[in-house]
Structure 1
Amino acid sequence: MYSSKNIIITVFALLSNTLFSQSYPPTKTGNEVDVFHGVSYPDPLRWIEDMKNPEVEQWFKNQAEYTNQVFSKVNGIQALAKEWGNLSLIQQEKYKDIYFRGGIYFYKKTLPNESVGKIYMRKGKEGSEELLFDPTTFIAEKTLSVTAIKPSFDGKYLGIGYAEMGAEIGSLIIIDVVKKKVLPQKFEPNYNGISEWMPDNSGFLWPKLATSDMTSPELFMNLKTMFQSIDLTKPSEDFFSKAKNTELPIDASDFPVAFATDDMPNYVFGGLFSVQNELRTFYALNDSKTKKSLTWKVLSEVKDGLVGTIEFHQGKVFAVSTKEASNLKLISTSLENLDWDNAEIIMPERKETLQEFVKCNDYLVVVYSDGINCSLYKYSLITKKVEKIETPLSGTFTLSVVDRKKNEIMVKITSWNKAPTAYDLDLDKNTFKQSMFSKPSNYPKAFDELVVEEVEVKGHDGVMIPLSLIYKKDIKKNGQNVCVMEAYGAYGMSSKPSFDFMYNTLATKGVIIAIPHVRGGGEKGYEWYMGGHKSNKPNTWKDFISCGEWLIQNGYTSPAKLGGMGTSAGGILITRAITERPDLFAAAVCNVGISNALRMEFTPNGANNTKEFGTTNDPTECKALYEMDGVAHIIKGEKYPAVLCVAGWNDPRVIPWQPAKFAAMMQLNTATTKPALLKVNFDNGHFTEDKNVTYQDFAHQFGFVLWQCGHPDFQMK
């Protein structure tokens, strides 16, 4: 509960907003109008989309400079970034992308005092650690980070994908592991390193983009999977693509990715990947002796209802099915006689939702979740028996297979208030041992005073929405608590309970953290996802609104203290929540978010996303896109909450003009004196591995919300 002094500070914060009412950098407007299916959609800010225009670039710079000047006058922001930086120093080293191939462990490790990770190798668990690649010194005066690694199956070569300043689109290089030498060839423009090496180590498959221009509509169109011989002097060849495989139903917006597996070394596989959950996959016999061209056959189609992962074992194919199973089931058929309609049910649908499964030598390991805690099961590929595995901790489980030839997997366990710990699970004995790639951290004791509460909120249509809360145990439900509410709700991705010391730091300052599990995510299975898909998308932001109303009605916070946040596809959620209910929120952050849904398909990543949100070419889907469009729903003279939009200048997923247009439209139309700001991260993309950049970015985002919601530590100097 705040003192009378705090209330005075809050009043002063409201008065200080008058500083922003007439001083924004100027934004011109035009007369552009789109006409879809006989309906006109005005777009007065279309000119901002021309990001190669010097006038547009200068406009972004002016907005960024203005926002930086505003933030320089707000207390608490730099202190918060520094606090997170200090917390990162008490962490132990972090490990990622761990492989064991050819008797060697390969992995990315980030030390507490490092902003990005380096690549190391170790010959067996007892071997000494050796540095293989340092992105900070590889190219002078370049800020690089590793996007992916993939060693050959014999461990003699290592593929490394890297990019600059969070851009994701970058280059692929190969390291000769024996000589510890970076080979001179580069493969680009590359997206996410190597797809996979060929099982005989004769070469590798890598995804090639049509362009490296992140503003180009062609960026994610007509992607190709290339084959590169281990003789790197030979040119890469088109292996799997729309141009190469005209006999297959490959659309220009699909990601045709080919891969191989040592479980079935005589075959190669291909998938048409996109934001669509249902798998479209193919397979072909790869007879390297006869050099015959590949004959691709269908492995799965949309109608088969397969989602997630496909695994192979001795001619059998294992997959997750949605058919007559909203919570998903694990099924199997044979590659020789494919029949998904009559597949063997390995693990039937349960009350809990099937989250993921992996394969090691003799087992499949399956994770189920009730939305809060996970349970773990194994299926023996030899005995065909299913067995539940008792785990050392409860929480969210994430599985990884370091060595597919062993009966051992890595299980990472975490929760909202429990830092992650990774265990090596011996599947023959069902025993857990803390992994050598996991070191516990000693966080402040204040974190131990935090409470996690899980509730369900009745939505606008009576559906019960899960809501997770994190707060100090001594808070009073008097409506005076600052509350930060953040959600996503797209692609069937769940907001799983996981430890975030940024969230926990805010909670120790008296802030309530609220995570609504809205429709469009996967928390309650496939139907929950479809409940926020395309024409059902309004459920996503209406669920968010319902959770905000519940928090206010139950005394956790009040409209003057409630801030909302949405990132990426969550931009639809937050921009529509505040345009539908501007009275409910004091502040909102749209972080690298989609806010102009009617124009999304005309962005570099747009055609791919029509499968999730819809296309203007279809009259029904066009209407749905209009409903999702935050920019289109801004009304002149409405009293909107304070708004901060964040754009990543090197963002290949949500182009910067998407959040920029929302900020500009707010500046032009809101009737309040609350700020509407555009923060431009010129050293960032959709995200970045560089934790120092990340801490600064989120300190501004959270600091903005706390400032506008009246937190006493975050007010004008």
Structure 2
Amino acid sequence: MKRHIYLFLLTALVTSTAVAQQSLPTASLPATPKRPVTDVYFGKTVVDNYRWLEDMNSPDVKDWFKAQGAYTNAVLDKIPGRDKLIETFVEYDKLVSVRYGEIKKRGNLYFYRKTLPAEKVGKIYVRQGKTGTEKLLFDPTAVDKTKTYSVTNFAPSSDGKQVVIGLQEGGAELSTVRTMDVATRTFRPESITAVQGGWVDWLADNSGFFYTPQNSNDPKDPKGNLDTKARMHQLGTDPKTDPDLFSRVKNPDMGIRPDQYPILLMSGDNTQLYGELASVDRRVDAWVADPADLAKPAIAWKRLAAPSDSVRSYVKIGDQLFLHSIKGAPNGKVLVTDARNPQPSSATVLLPEGKQNISRVVSSKDFLFVILSDGINETVRQYDARNKQWADVPVKMTGTVYVEPYDAPRSNEIIVYVTSWNNPGMMYGYNPANQQLIVSPFHVPMNYPGVADLIVEELEIPSHDGTRVPLSLVYKKGLKRDGNTICFMTGYGAYGSSATPYFSRRNLALLNRGVILAETHPRGGSEKGQAWYQAGFKTTKPNTWKDFIASGEYLIKNGYTSASKLIGEGTSAGGILIGRAITERPDLFAAAISNVSCSNALRMENSPNGPVNAPEFGTVKDSVECMALYEMDAFQHVKDGTKYPAVLCIGGMNDPRVIAWQPGKLAAALQTASTSGKPVLMQVNYDNGHFTEDKAVTFRNFANMYAFALWQAGHPDFQPRAVVKK
């Protein structure tokens, strides 16, 4: 089922090397005064020298970020090769004539997002039939030529006559939602603000939709996503009158926490109403009711699954409810129960736990699809709910397999998309009835330079405690393992999110410059099932960065790279990984990139998105979890007089997930503490959030990260010219 979950994302780097710091700006790095605040956590005294940076409304703090950003931009602008990287990104982007995404079928209408190489963001189109003449529905760039808007989400009604569109600016993610008439391409007058990602779900009769707005449009509002309410909007009515149907206020007997995000949605066949409490806890917390109850004073909810049932997801086919369960089965199993009276505890085992980990479960009108992973690569099995027969989906290529129904409740038409580290991917149309894969009309051939010369190695390396940890390597043919090759090593390890194979044009820009790409798979992800996730969770979180460190040590020991050539990167929750890796082993890296990063875990709950993430990382209110948060806090582990690698910290001023003072405080501490003479910079993005669809902004951000890292790792194309003294 559709589930709306607050997750951190990922994107960050690391690099540093003994290269000269020539041609830096003559202006000095902006000073950051220490204003110590002392806290005592369960008997442990902790000093915070930069607490004052948390007040994002303070003029002093605004001036600090502006000064840091200006200095960083001045440094990055002087790195040779940075602009050439942007040119490479643009060049690779132009090699594909058009990109299609989010294809949704309603009747014989196909709605989709389409992006041309010359466009910064995608536009929404519709066509009659898969190969019919397309019609432009909505161009977000036409809203205001002075600003960059993009579509966060779009949802056509089941009859295809209307489409809800979520519009956002500057990567803020909080969208303004409006409804368009497809035939006339005109919007209804009403609009709804502060909807996360623009997510909605239509009512059965298409007269309105469910949505859950934030309490504020300000991503810095500490109460913006607490005690939110699932509402119903009837088309043509004033959104201010939309009733609260599911919330902690409306349902005080359900035990809903302030940090849980109530959502309402219909089953695909519109026969059931679901109420879910979404959070970073991936176990389903949901109820089911009769849609007819929407017209009654109160909805008669019945338990579908509680967190103790350990159900990861559920899909309905006919009168059966299929559950992806991890209860007593760390690799997952599939259960089946009566949809009208779901009983997870007594459900029948349809597919028992096996050696492979169940990644995802999706459905079409009559078929269930189970995506299985060996830890890295995926395969798919299908189950026909009519004749109860299992079969394999005949995907030949190894990598990550995405199975996406065009219109799950009404059709068995399927999109199968396969990609891998060294293959840009194939999009197929799939008929599960005869198990035939044919190239989709929406597939666009991709031919990039250097791809044929890419080698992939899938390894398992020993970590600090002897655990075998997967490590994926991609590099150009002819690699010499003499320790002289730059290696870009990235990792995440949180929320049970696995680093599955994917093709990246940005990564290709590094690979074609002779850089090794190392994708780590530390504990905290789900590469090896639920047990792998739990082994990098709260009190076991140190395994995440220690697995990352062990991966770097392996690469150095086996001649792939050296400490002066190793770049480390972590994004978002991966900020814990990279932050603690460089504070525990500063000698291991040439440079590090800490991108929109969770860097001050002890104070996360004091940030707007912090309370909703406490189930993942822990709370300072619990003595054991508090000490675990201290361990994963990179900011608190910065020590004066230490030779830290070069570090680039990045924060987005429109970021609703990780507030900019998190990486900002880490940058301030490292700038004061490091004695290596290597730069520590704070990049401040005023036109971005946690990420953005805007290609121009994205290309600039990654070019800055890569150029900084390659400069510090000694890549010859990124070295400022030395100033010759006479």
* CA distance in 2 between partners of 1:359 and 1:527 (Å): 26
Does the 8 Å CA contact 2:166/2:175 hold for their aligned counterparts? yes
Do residues 547 (structure 1) and 551 (structure 2) align? yes
Q: Report if the CA contact (8 A) 1:574-1:590 is conserved.
A: yes
Of 666, 673, 682, the match for 1:669: 673
Aligned to 2:231: 226
User: In structure 2, how many angstroms separate the alpha carbons of the residues matched to 1:126 and 1:613?
Assistant: 48
Deviation at 1:366, TM superposition (A): 1.4
Alpha-carbon deviation of 1:17?
A: 6.5
> Which residue is equivalent to 2:311?
306
Tell me the distance in 2 between the aligned counterparts of 1:296 and 1:689: 38
**Alignment-mate amino acid for residue 450 of structure 1:** L
- 1:358-373 to structure 2, matched below 5 A, reads 358-373=362-377
Check the 8 A contact 1:198/1:261 in 2, yes or no: no
Residue 355 of structure 2 aligns to a residue whose secondary structure is: coil
Q: Residue 255 of structure 2 corresponds to which residue in structure 1?
A: 249
| Alignment-mate amino acid for residue 283 of structure 1 | V
Aligned with residue 240 of structure 1, among 236, 241, 246: 246
Amino acid at match of 2:223: E
- Counterpart in the other structure of 1:347: 351
Task: Note closer, same or farther for the CA distance 1:90–1:290 as it changes in structure 2 (3 Å cut).
Answer: closer
CA–CA distance in structure 1, aligned partners of residues 184 and 551 of structure 2: 58
Contact residue 450 and residue 508 of structure 1 kept, 8 A: no
Q: List aligned pairs for 1:426-575, cutoff 5 A.
A: 426-444=431-449, 446-575=450-579
Alignment of 1:275 onto 2:280: yes
**Highest relative contact order (Cα 8 Å, sep 6+), 1 or 2?**
2
The corresponding residue for 2:7 is none
Q: Distance in 2 between matches of 1:618 and 1:715?
A: 49
> How far 1:266 moved relative to its partner?
3.6
8 Å contact kept, 1:13–1:715: no
CA gap 1:339/1:258 in 2 versus in 1, 3 angstroms: same
> Take 1:211 and 1:51, find their aligned partners in 2: how far apart are those partners?
16
- Cα deviation digits, residues 538-591 of structure 1 (max 9, x gap): 000000000000001001111111110000000000000000001111110000
Change (3 A) 1:682 1:200: same
Aligned-pair CA distance for 1:512? 0.8
Conserved? CA contact 1:159–1:194, under 8 Å: no
List aligned pairs for 1:401-440, cutoff 5 A. 401-404=405-408, 405-440=410-445
Question: CA 1:455/1:290 → structure 2, altered by over 3 Å: closer, same or farther?
Answer: closer
User: Could you tell me which residue of structure 1 aligns to residue 151 of structure 2?
Assistant: 146
2:262/2:278 contact within 8 Å kept: yes
Aligned residue for 2:216, secondary structure, equals coil
Judge conservation of contact 1:320–1:329 (CA < 8 Å) in 2: yes
Q: Following TM superposition, by how much is the alpha carbon of 1:18 offset from its aligned partner in structure 2, in angstroms?
A: 10
Write the deviation string for residues 446-469 of structure 1: whole angstroms up to 9, x where unpaired: 221111111110011110000000
Tell me whether 1:61 sits opposite 2:84 in the alignment: no
- Name the % identity: 44
Amino acid paired to 1:483: C
Deviates more, 1:516-525 or 1:177-186: 177-186
Is 1:184 equivalent to 2:189 in the alignment? Answer: yes
- Map of 1:259-338 to 2, 5 A cutoff? 259-263=265-269, 265-287=270-292, 291-307=296-312, 309-338=313-342
CA shift at 1:337, angstroms? 3.6
Q: 1:87, 1:101 → 2: CA distance?
A: 33
Q: 1:70 is matched with which residue?
A: 75
**What is the 5 A alignment of 1:100-249?**
100-233=105-238, 235-249=241-255
- How far off is 1:638 after superposition? 0.8
Give the aligned residue type for 2:187.
V
Write out per-residue CA displacement over residues 49-90 of structure 1, whole angstroms, 9 at most, x where no aligned residue. Answer: 111111111110100000011112111111011111111011
Counterpart in 1 of 2:4?
none
Distance of 1:281 and 1:575 partners within structure 2: 36
2:103 — aligned with what? 98
Greater Cα offset, 657-666 or 94-103:
94-103
Specify the code of the residue in structure 1 equivalent to 2:83: Q
CA distance in 2, matches of 1:277, 1:288: 28
Amino acid across the alignment from 1:240: F
Q: 1:319, CA displacement in angstroms?
A: 1.4
Find the aligned partners of 2:92 and 2:494 in 1 and give their Cα distance.
31
Partner of 1:5: none
SS at match of 1:378: strand
The letter for the 2-side match of 1:221 is L
Whether the 8 Å contact between 2:148 and 2:694 is mirrored in structure 1 is no
Contact 1:21–1:673, Cα closer than 8 Å, also in 2: no
Render the CA deviation track for 1:462-504: whole Å, top value 9, x for unaligned.
1000000011111111111111100000000011111012112
Contact in 2 for aligned 1:484/1:511 (Cα 8 Å): yes
1:529 & 1:194 partners in 2: Cα distance? 27
Give the equivalent residue in structure 1 for 2:630: 626
- Equivalent position of 1:39 in the other structure: 44
Q: Please say if residues 360 and 406 of structure 1, whose CA atoms lie closer than 8 Å, have aligned partners that are also in contact.
A: yes
Q: Deviations over 1:101-136 (max 9, x none)?
A: 143111111112111000111122243100111100
Residue matched to 2:360: 356
Deviations 1:389-437 (A, max 9, x none): 2224232101111122222211110000000211111011100111122
The question of whether the paired residues in 2 share the 8 Å contact of 1:199 and 1:261 is answered with: no
In structure 2, do the counterparts of structure 1 residues 59 and 465 end up closer, same or farther at CA, with 3 Å as the change threshold? same
Contact 1:484 1:512 in 2 (8 A): yes
Q: Which moved more, 1:82-91 or 1:28-37?
A: 28-37
Runs of 4+ in structure 1 off by over 6 angstroms are: 10-13
Separation of aligned partners in 2, 1:336 and 1:421 = 39
Q: Which blocks of at least 5 consecutive residues in structure 2 are unaligned? A: 1-14, 722-726
Q: Displacement, 1:157?
A: 0.9
Name the CA distance, whole Å, in 2 between partners of 1:22 and 1:35.
39
Which amino acid is the alignment partner of residue 254 of structure 2?
Answer: L
Q: Supply the AA of the counterpart residue of 1:252.
A: P
Choose from 645, 657, 665 the match for 2:661: 657
1:508 is displaced (CA, Å) by: 1.6
Amino acid corresponding to residue 348 of structure 2 in structure 1: E
Cα contact 2:356–2:374 (8 A) shared by 1: yes
Whether contact under 8 Å (1:17, 1:675) holds in the other structure is no
Give the direction of change, closer, same or farther, for the CA distance of 1:21–1:142 in structure 2 (3 Å limit).
closer
Change (3 A) 1:197 1:208: same
Contact 2:190–2:236 (8 Å) recurs in 1: no
Shift of 1:302: 1.0
Residues 58 and 604 of structure 1, relative CA distance in 2, 3 Å threshold: same
Deviates more, 1:629-638 or 1:496-505: 496-505
Distance of 1:17 and 1:44 partners within structure 2: 31
SS in structure 2 at match of 1:270: strand
Match of 2:584 among 573, 580, 586: 580
| Cα contact 1:88–1:112 (8 A) shared by 2 | yes
Which string of whole-angstrom CA distances, capped at 9 and with x for unpartnered residues, describes residues 178-222 of structure 1? 221112211012112243101121210011111111111112111
Distance 1:431 1:613 in 2: 44
CA contact (8 A) 1:77 1:699 kept: yes
2:215 touches 2:228 (CA, 8 Å); kept in 1?
Answer: yes
The question of whether the paired residues in 2 share the 8 Å contact of 1:571 and 1:594 is answered with yes
Q: Shift of residue 22 of structure 1?
A: 9.4
Aligned-partner SS, 2:716: coil
2:8 corresponds in structure 1 to none
Q: CA 1:12/1:355 → structure 2, altered by over 3 Å: closer, same or farther? A: closer
> Which range is displaced more, 192-201 or 598-607?
192-201
1:28 maps to 2:45? no
* Counterpart for residue 404 of structure 2: 400
